[in-house]
Structure 1
Amino acid sequence: MKLIVAIIQSKDSQQLQASLVKGGFRATQLSSTGGFLKAGNCTFLIGVEEEKIDDALAVIKKTCHTRVQYVTPTFLMPEAASSLSEPVEVQVGGATCFILPVDKFVRF
């Protein structure tokens, strides 16, 4: 068994939760905050049998999309506040997934 830790944008969380349930996967959803834009994220903990890892990742990939967002450069680089004032385009979203081994799984 493996544990997929998937960090996604909050905007994709409801659709991902529904898609995981539809695909027969159980997941725990945790609210989290991103370090780059300090935006709302969700972290999903998904226990998966090894042979179903690719299926679970396919659901995540299909559901979680990247987006373009505009931020002020002062948010990214406070030291550049006086020289840059136009918004900068950054790509956000998608999913970051970590796949970890599970030594033991118990359900009560």
Structure 2
Amino acid sequence: MKLIIAIIHDEDALKLVKNLTEQGYRVTKLASTGGFLRSGNTTLFIGIEKEKVDHVIEIIKDQCKSRKEIQPAPTPMIGNSSMFITYPIEVNVGGATIFVVDVDRFEKV
């Protein structure tokens, strides 16, 4: 048995969880934060048989595409008038970070 831990962007979570559950996979969803902008992420735990790992990863890749967004800079810069001014920056969001780990024991009680 394997455990897939997938860290995805919040915007992709609902669609991905729906897709996975419709295909019969059990998913545990946790809210998480991190990354450059400390933006909202979702961490998914998916316990599956070894033979299904590649299929689940393909589903994640299809649903969680990387894209560019314009965001305000995380730290304001001080301008000449002593006001805080933030400059927009282009950042990549979306995609997924995926870990696959062995499970020594699984019990559902």
Range into which the TM-score falls when normalised by the shorter chain: 0.7 to 0.9
Q: TM-score, normalised by structure 2?
A: 0.85
Q: Which structure's residues are more often helix, by fraction?
A: 1
Question: Residue 93 of structure 1 corresponds to which residue in structure 2?
Answer: 94
Partners of 1:23 and 1:55 lie apart in 2 by 11
Pairwise CA distance, 1:93: 0.8
Q: TM-score, normalised by structure 1?
A: 0.86
Is 2:49 aligned against 1:49? yes
Q: Which has the larger radius of gyration?
A: 2
Question: Residue 82 of structure 2 corresponds to which residue in structure 1?
Answer: none
Sequence identity, in percent?
A: 43
Question: Residue 81 of structure 1 corresponds to which residue in structure 2?
Answer: 77
Superposed CA offset, 1:8-65 (max 9, x none) = 0111111111110122111100011123211111100000110000010011111112
Question: Residue 6 of structure 2 corresponds to which residue in structure 1?
Answer: 6
Large movers: runs of 4+ above 2 Å: 80-86
Q: How does 1:36-75 map to 2 (within 5 A)?
A: 36-73=36-73, 75=74
- For structure 1, the 5+ residue unaligned runs are none
